[in-house]
Structure 1
Amino acid sequence: MRFHHSKNPSRIALGVLTVGALVVLSSCASSTPEPEESAAGVDFPVATGSGSPTVLDDAEWESLVEAANAEGELIVYSSPPGTEETFAQFSEDYPDITVTVVREPTSDLIARMDQEIDAGVAGADVTWHSQPAWAATRAEDGALNALQLSPEAAELGWGEFATDDYYLQIMANPYLLGWNTTLGEPVDNIQDLLAKAGDTPVGIAEPISQNGMFQLQTWMDEYGEDFLGELAALNHTVIRSTTPLAQSLAAGEVGYAILMQPGLLDQLKEEGAPVEQIVPDDGLVTGFAYGPMTLAGADHPAAAQVFVNWLMSQPTQQLLVDSHGPLAVPIILDGTENALAWDEVQAVDDAEWPQERRDEFRAVWDSYFLP
């Protein structure tokens, strides 16, 4: 299934603060935060999961921006690497609003937000990660605010990329193949890598989420279930996440990297590391969507809505492509340079990967990769 603009609820990624451990909150019964009316009388309805985002008229949008400036702050919980610097640009366009970015892996961010939501503690105003199933569940709980689109965003057609009223697909990152130029040869796709790797060490990101599982399953569907056996026969190391995988590739500990995430190798290459990466050319590219969700009960609900609309603007989409590419953006912004076509990246459908299926896939994976 490719990224599209259906309203399937299962479809769903300055000051800088990097958190190394979760805040431990006292246990209490789950409670749904109640959104409050912001300064300037702007209303923020709780997401219902039953319709499209609200479209504001010019006067309502001006009131929202006024309220956001009055709040003066914005807290974003984000999982992709490098978003601290990217999101700091928001304050260039809205200088009255100071942005703080808390960046952690998606699983840690979700655990942190679940604790804060259940404890009734305000934390993130906006979160940006690649787990749409979490958004669907929390929208049903009333823990997300419905999104509000500016007249400009609505005219561009962003409402067509909404999942009900709480989530918008903003960008899609593909999984990449990487190689160390002193150890490995350039490759075009996974079959090319299998043919060229030989005894060269290969790093494989562990498929912890359905995203990585879906890429592996896509290859298995094309090349047969023994594809995992071909991977396991390589001189391989399974590495838990893509950050240490990128570091291992740069250090020459592995010569090839499979299931590489965009953004990591670019920075290492700028620092002089002998690394290259490629979007596979075989039409079997999968990846993960990133989109913003605004938290009900947040301290800065107006700034959160303005930030979401900022993400949808043409300049910001270009900034995302330039800073976090390769990636795909919706076709409505076809003037965005160097972006992948929106249908080049196949999206995982969370509804097709419930916990039972993920457990079944891991059992097959473990049969090849565990001692």
Structure 2
Amino acid sequence: MKKTVLLVLAAVLLLSLTAVSQAQESPVITVYKDKTTKIIMAVQYTEYKDNSGDVQLIIAHDDDRDLYFDGVRAGDSFTYSINVEETGKYELRISFGWLDSTGKYTIVVDGEEVGILENTIASTGWRNWTNSDPISIELTKGEHTLTIVNGTPGPNLKYVLLTPEGKEVGDLGTSVHLYDGSASGTPWNLKDNNLSSIAIQFNATSFIKSLKLSAPNWMATPDIDYELEFKLYKWNGSFAKTVSGTSVASRVFEKYPDNTWLYMPVNVEAGEYVLVVTNNGTPNSGFYIKNKAHESQRVYFDGVVKENMAAELIIGYASTPETDYGPLSEDTPENPETGDSVAVYLLVVVATFGLAFLKKRQDA
């Protein structure tokens, strides 16, 4: 009886969490009717095209380990799938850096040119991100494709910003490093260390938009198949109980470049979480861990807490919090004997009641 009830409850919970996870994996970007939408150009694209078949666009990372397009050429284009909440006019801006001239961008919606953004705001330096002048465009409610065609050689491009006309751009969020950058670090290869998983417990103080880890591939050759899988779980009282549930976000990174920052977009509320990283049995996969603990996180090797360690984990917040992170809950494993004792007690009660009922019927 107890197992049946628990299985039913687990099935209901699984269905509800799966629906949330699937919604978060949608590639379509919501354009909000009441606040600025931030599109991360080098992450959320549907496609990008360079103007030459010989030279590929470069995706690099800045000091916050945020990804951007580096050294974009005239004619390079970037396309995004958007879903507009409400018909109206929106101000479009480009966040750029390191551009000697002022810059020009052609804006295309659903294959039709809607305007040219001619920026007059000068850059403040290499990877010092500056918002361009705005261009006002009309967007109707529903799904569209938005394409930005770069018209001036040289810029580094980070964001497309869409702000409802009459609203301020506002807080665009921040990245918080949950480790001491000055501490020495070690690349942990899961397979070489006979590990099936490394997990990080942390407490976010604002809505989370992304999680990033620094990962080597040990100079893997093209013939080697390797991957890392990220799964994010909402904290549920204990580590074991948490990771036995359903993840609220996940992503698999196959054959990623050496020493890159793996970026998982998420859309979850502030709160305590566990990020579980596995290699699914493949070689040449793992990530960097600092040889110094950090109060913002707790590291687990195959479910066991490791002291004096902190993963090179970065949280991308949707808005800047008052504090970078919250306190961690202690791991409080459930006592299996307690649960078994309760189950036995209930069975005894039910059995006693059943015998009494049968005896009463026999006496009648």
- Scaled to the shorter chain, the TM-score interval is under 0.3
Higher alpha-carbon Rg:
2
More helix, by proportion:
1
More relative contact order in 1 or in 2 (CA 8 Å, sep 6+)? Answer: 1
More strand, by proportion:
2
TM-score normalised by structure 2 residue count? 0.25
TM-score normalised by structure 1 residue count? 0.25
